Amino acid sequence: MNIVVKYGLPFVEVTFGYQEKELHLKNVLLDTGSAGTVFSADVVDRIGVQVEPEDTLNKIRGVGGIEIVYSKRFDFVQLGDILLKGFEVEIGEMNYGMRIDGILGFDFIQCAGLVIDSKQLTITVNEG
């Protein structure tokens, strides 16, 4: 899998499934400094992902400040050939001053065993 640098940051393409619908995202920040994976509420709304009374609300903090998000368990989140089923994602406004569909955080990176080569701009999986 390849990484594309935009705004001086590493971006990847991700596909996810929710209630038998799929969406492909082209502008997902690969962020080892983000504990969790977050997708834009505006983007996921395209396939009907919306906040519901049983969803858990959380407060997250980052360089952009504090944001209220809600959690959803997606059918899968996929990066290239790597597919994690039943993966929990946070959904938020993500108004960061740049076009960004989501953040692929350390939770996904660790679960998938990703190895990031920042020189070659590639991602592989640690099989060990």
Are the beta carbons of 36 and 107 closer than 8 angstroms?
Answer: yes
User: Which pLDDT does position 38 carry in this prediction?
Assistant: 95
- Compute the average pLDDT of residues 97-113: 94
Q: Report the distance separating Cα 46 and Cα 25, nearest Å.
A: 11
Which pLDDT tens digit goes with each residue over 82-91? 999 999 999 9
SS3 41: helix
* pLDDT confidence of residue 1: 80
* Residue written as token pair 């505006």: 42
d(CA 2, CA 42) in angstroms, rounded, equals 25
Residue 78 confidence class, pLDDT cut points 50, 70, 90: very high
Average pLDDT, the chain: 93
Please tell me whether residue 107 adopts helix, strand or coil conformation. Answer: helix
Break the chain into its structural domains and give their ranges: 4-125
Q: pLDDT value at position 34?
A: 92
pLDDT of residue 9: 95
Strands 38-40 and 57-62: unpaired
The pLDDT score that the predictor gives to residue 119 is: 96
Q: Each residue of 53-62: pLDDT tens digit?
A: 998 898 888 7
Beta carbons within 8 Å of 72's beta carbon, 6+ residues apart: 18, 49, 55, 88, 89, 90, 91
Q: How is domain 4-125 classified at the CATH fold level?
A: Cathepsin D, subunit A; domain 1 (2.40.70)
